[in-house]
Structure 1
Amino acid sequence: MNIEKNYIINENFMYMTGYHDRFGKLCSLVRENNRMFIVDQSPLEILSDSIRSIGFSLKGAIESAKWHLGNIPMCPFIVNPIYKICVFPTKSANNPETIWFNPDHIKRTKGNVNHTIITFSNGFDLKVPCRLSSFNTKLQNAEQLIKLILGKTPSH
């Protein structure tokens, strides 16, 4: 699998999660529409760099989202308003096992015991350890934020 030094989230970004390399360093496993690769940065470093690259800050993006949505747990936030990219976490932002999703690529969710199976726009399925109701609430919060801030209707 390819290892990239850094990464800026783009429209092809589907999701990412923490990944420890053989030395125990926290990196990221990133999945785009047509490729999967490792980035030598933590998920929070990728999020911070992606937002900083367009002149904003991670702290500001989170504060803005909470201002719009209220102080909800695991709040989604806008990573790139130009490309209308929002992300939301499955767990606390500081948990290395958190999976960060781009709602734009999620086409369908279905429950499987205490897991959710997510079908993406490219047909790829991913099973995550999160109840369907909990996952769908996070997805709806992200879609609501996109509408509130960007006035965009989700593509699915």
Structure 2
Amino acid sequence: MFSQYIINRYTDALASHFHNGYEYTQVLEGTETFLVAQSPDDIVKESFLQNGSTLEGAIESARYHLNKKYKLPVVLSAKHHIALIRCPAVDKTGIVWLVHSHIHSIEPDPNHHNKTIVHTNHGHSFTIDMKLDRLQTRRSQASFLNSTLLKNSEMNKAMTFFYDKDHGFQLVKKTGQLNYTLKKNNDIVKLETE
């Protein structure tokens, strides 16, 4: 058993695992499964801190972008497509955090209409205590939130550099171009770059 864990791009899911009154986490990473001596919520919180933010901040961002207050997905890393969906475990005492980009497929549990079977990209399968349509809605929200945050974080948008504010010069590079444009008092002078 590991003492700590940080979510990475190979993490499929984190699931509560109880033993002797303590909550541990069963980690599904790639084709591997192992236990960690932390709760799933603690792993998620620490993973956000390791990435320079907080779970609370990610929840606020999700509320802002999704215009919803509760039961929201959160994005740990838009670049690596790690949006997390929190779901109740099948026994209702624990929780499961799913990484949306590693969900291969979902299907209703044929024995329980309120439960859903999740299949991951790495071959894991498990059941959660959530109806299929609710999980599908959260998957869609996670994808939308991840793509929105990824788009907002891109640095290849048109950029303006001010290098002489007293004289009104601007050096401008437009998206998809290699050339810079120098503007002075609305007169344009073209600068070529190699």
TM-score, normalization: structure 2?
0.69
Structure 2: where are the runs of 5+ without partners?
Answer: 152-194
Report SS of the residue matched to 1:18.
Answer: strand
Report SS of the residue matched to 2:35.
Answer: strand
Moved over 6 A (4+): none
Shift of residue 96, structure 1, vs aligned partner: 5.2
Shift of residue 100, structure 1, vs aligned partner: 0.6
**C-alpha root-mean-square deviation of aligned residues, in Å?**
2.1
Aligned residue in 2 for 1:138: 138
What is the 5 A alignment of 1:115-134?
A: 115-134=115-134
Contact 2:75 2:82 in 1 (8 A): yes
Q: Distance in 1 between matches of 2:123 and 2:32?
A: 13
Residues 9/55 of structure 1: CA separation in 2 closer, same or farther (3 Å cut) = same
The structure with the larger Rg is 2
What is the 5 A alignment of 1:60-75?
A: 60-75=57-72
Q: Distance in 2 between matches of 1:6 and 1:96?
A: 22
Q: Distance in 2 between matches of 1:73 and 1:56?
A: 20
Between Structure 1 and Structure 2, the one with more strand by share is 2
TM-score, normalization: structure 1?
0.85
Number of residue pairs matched by the alignment: 147
Report SS of the residue matched to 1:119.
Answer: strand
The structure whose RCO (Cα within 8 Å, separation 6+) is larger is 1
- Identical aligned residues as a percent: 26
Structure 1: where are the runs of 5+ without partners?
Answer: 152-156
